[in-house]
């Protein structure tokens, strides 16, 4: 009898949650603008990060000044070997290349001595350091090409001194580096924004109090209203991975099913945090600002945009606490390195702990709001 009563109560509770979820899903379906944005944002971000963003800059303008014709020809040949540069001036008078950098006509300048390999003069490399990311790989390639030629000139072996094997991304494609992490970024932003607007919007419109006046309990109403958004976040993650494979031939060598199975948990954690912001905020503007305040540091400190190991220890410590950091690692490990489900389980543990802390904050804020 007791078990039957428990099952009956459980069925009724699930029925109430399903009813609220169905109402919320119907409301979302009628909001065509929101549905369009939910589908359009991943597609636009994939297109921008996949086709427009390139971490390996090409056609960097470079100028050569000074030196004789032999030295200029040697320098030009080294520049062409790198494949990074576009020669915008050569055979210039001494100092003219540096002036082109100062005037914004070139990002790199080579000022040659009268003889490149002889005499006491030394070549100067002038670099526009106002945007290091735009020139650092190109300058490194230029230096490597120069020293490779120097090494070959003093050796009977004209082969390259070192063989480099690039694992997982042999062509160095930017899309393969960015898109796995982009999956977590898109889901994070969408869930934070949707969660941040949930309670404060309903409160401003007077709909949340109406819902609480029904026989549906507050916790059941909350679970029911948030469930459709978790499904949306999961669908966004699947869409990004599918588009990445279709458009950029992302290898997806590992246990993709494990990554997609973890997507609902990851989406729910960010959604709950967004709901906590919504419960604390007094207006939709405050809730949106809180969401932005969280997701911008997440993008910067997670290793998605900048190398994680290049950050100071305190920044890495903060990054280790962020869900996006662990999802980015899991996504790159599964999609690029071909790792198994164990990696996903290992990286999702900190995400679950963060979710429990966010749930505690959300319940505390919600309880204070109800009181």
| Residue-averaged pLDDT of the chain | 80
Are 44 and 183 within one domain? yes
Q: What is the CATH number of the domain that holds 146?
A: 3.40.190
Are 226 and 96 within one domain? no
C-beta pairs of 3-10 under 8 Å, 24+ apart in sequence: none
Q: Is residue 178 part of a domain?
A: yes
**Predicted pLDDT at 317:** 94
Are 123 and 180 within one domain? no
- The total number of structural domains in the chain stands at 2
**Predicted pLDDT at 162:** 59
Domain stop point among 98, 119, 153: 153
C-beta pairs of 204-211 under 8 Å, 24+ apart in sequence: 204/283, 204/284, 211/20
- pLDDT tens for 195-248 read 888 777 766 666 655 555 555 565 666 777 778 888 888 988 888 888 888 888
Are 266 and 198 within one domain? yes
Dihedral angle, C-alpha 106, 110, 112, 118, nearest 10 °? -160
Are 82 and 213 within one domain? no
Nearest-5° Cα angle at 107, 105 to 109: 95
Q: Is residue 229 part of a domain?
A: yes
Average pLDDT over residues 93-107: 85
Q: By the 8 A CB rule, do 335 and 254 touch?
A: yes
- pLDDT tens for 112-167 read 876 544 545 677 888 888 877 778 888 888 877 777 776 666 554 555 555 666 77
Q: Is residue 14 part of a domain?
A: no
Are 40 and 68 within one domain? no
Are 112 and 46 within one domain? no
Are 237 and 317 within one domain? yes
- pLDDT tens for 21-65 read 776 677 666 666 566 667 777 777 777 777 777 777 788 898 888
Q: Is residue 138 part of a domain?
A: yes
Instruction: Extract the tokens encoding 323.
Output: 């869900």
Domain that holds residue 218: 22-53+172-370
- pTM of the predicted model as reported, rounded to 2 decimal places: 0.79
Are 120 and 88 within one domain? yes
**Predicted pLDDT at 51:** 77
Are 49 and 65 within one domain? no
Closest CA to 80 of 92, 72, 68: 72
Q: Is residue 205 part of a domain?
A: yes
Confidence of residue 345 (pLDDT cuts 50, 70, 90): very high
Are 135 and 180 within one domain? no
Q: Is residue 102 part of a domain?
A: yes
Q: Is residue 276 part of a domain?
A: yes
Checking DSSP bridges between strand 124-127 and strand 108-112, what pairing results, if any? antiparallel
Q: Is residue 166 part of a domain?
A: no
Confidence of residue 258 (pLDDT cuts 50, 70, 90): very high
Are 227 and 99 within one domain? no
């Amino acid at each position: 009898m007791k078990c039957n009563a428990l099952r009956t109560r459980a069925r009724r509770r699930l029925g109430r949650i399903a009813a609220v979820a169905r109402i919320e899903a119907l409301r979302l379906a009628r909001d065509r603008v929101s549905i369009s944005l939910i589908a359009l944002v991943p597609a636009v971000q994939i297109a921008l990060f996949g086709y427009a963003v390139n971490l390996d800059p090409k056609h960097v303008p470079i100028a050569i000044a000074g030196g004789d014709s032999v030295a200029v020809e040697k320098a030009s040949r080294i520049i062409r070997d790198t494949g990074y540069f576009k020669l915008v001036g050569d055979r210039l008078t001494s100092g003219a290349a540096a002036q082109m950098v100062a005037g914004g006509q070139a990002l790199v300048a080579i000022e040659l001595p009268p003889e490149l390999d002889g005499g006491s003069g030394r070549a100067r490399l002038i670099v526009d350091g106002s945007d290091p990311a735009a020139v650092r790989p190109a300058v490194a390639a230029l230096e490597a090409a120069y020293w490779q030629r120097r090494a070959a000139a003093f050796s009977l072996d004209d082969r390259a001194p070192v063989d480099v094997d690039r694992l997982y991304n042999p062509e160095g494609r930017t899309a393969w580096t960015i898109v796995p992490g982009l999956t977590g970024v898109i889901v994070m932003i969408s869930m934070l924004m949707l969660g941040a607007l949930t309670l404060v919007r309903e409160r401003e419109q007077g709909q949340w109090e109406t819902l609480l006046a029904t026989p549906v309990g507050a916790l059941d109403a909350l679970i029911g209203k948030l469930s459709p958004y978790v499904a949306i976040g999961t669908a966004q993650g699947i869409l990004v991975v599918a588009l990445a494979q279709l458009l950029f031939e992302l290898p997806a060598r590992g246990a993709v099913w494990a990554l997609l199975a973890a997507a609902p948990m990851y989406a729910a954690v960010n959604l709950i945090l967004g709901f906590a912001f919504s419960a604390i905020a007094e207006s939709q503007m405050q809730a949106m600002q809180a969401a932005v305040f969280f997701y911008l540091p997440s993008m910067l400190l997670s290793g998605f945009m900048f190398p994680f190991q290049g950050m100071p220890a305190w920044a890495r410590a903060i990054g280790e606490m962020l869900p996006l950091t662990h999802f980015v690692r899991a996504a790159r490990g599964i999609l690029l390195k071909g790792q198994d489900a164990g990696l996903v389980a290992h990286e999702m543990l900190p995400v679950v702990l963060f979710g429990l802390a966010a749930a505690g904050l959300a319940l505390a804020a919600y309880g204070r709001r109800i009181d």
